[in-house]
Every structure is written in structure tokens, then in C-alpha cells.
């Protein structure tokens, strides 16, 4: 799994942002091409938040 790191911010307080790590099943190239769509899908059902930035990383996510 590739690490897809999302920076999401509250709509009501845009300065209030947080980082979220989401597993992305694919290559780093696929993440670069489809990461934004995966991020938006992750945020569906969370209307108080918006995506500020996303990043694909080659480090592997570990199961916690």
C-alpha cells in the first residue's frame, strides 16, 4: 500500500487543518494520477471538511 496523506480543513475555520493518512492500493504513479479522486471519495459524507492538499508517498502504511 502507498500512503496517501490528506490535509483537510474545516469549512467554518479554514485555518483549522489536520493530516489524515489513507491507504492507497496501487503504485505511486496510480496514486499521482488518481489520488485526488480517492481523497474526495474519502471525504464524502464529511461535508464540514474540504481537501486542501494531498500527497502520495512511497512509505508503507503499517496496520495499527
pLDDT (tens digit per residue) in 11-41: 999 999 999 999 899 999 999 999 999 999 9
44 Cβ partners below 8 Å, 6+ apart?
Answer: none
DSSP the chain: -EEEEEEEEESS-TT-EEEEEEEE-S-HHHHHHHHHHHHHHHHTT-TTEEEEEEEEESSPPPP-
DSSP-assigned beta bridge partners for residue 18: 8
The residues spanned by each domain of the chain are 2-57
pTM of this prediction?
0.79
Query: Nearest to residue 24, comparing CAs of 15, 11, 37?
Result: 37
Residues 37-62: what's their mean pLDDT? Answer: 88
Amino acid at each position: 500500500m502507498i500512503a496517501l496523506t490528506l490535509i483537510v480543513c474545516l469549512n467554518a475555520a479554514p485555518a483549522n487543518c489536520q493530516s489524515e493518512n489513507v491507504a492507497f492500493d496501487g503504485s505511486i504513479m496510480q496514486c499521482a494520477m488518481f489520488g485526488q479522486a480517492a481523497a474526495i471519495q474519502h471525504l464524502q459524507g464529511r461535508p464540514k471538511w474540504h481537501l486542501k492538499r494531498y500527497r502520495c508517498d512511497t512509505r508503507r502504511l503499517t496496520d495499527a
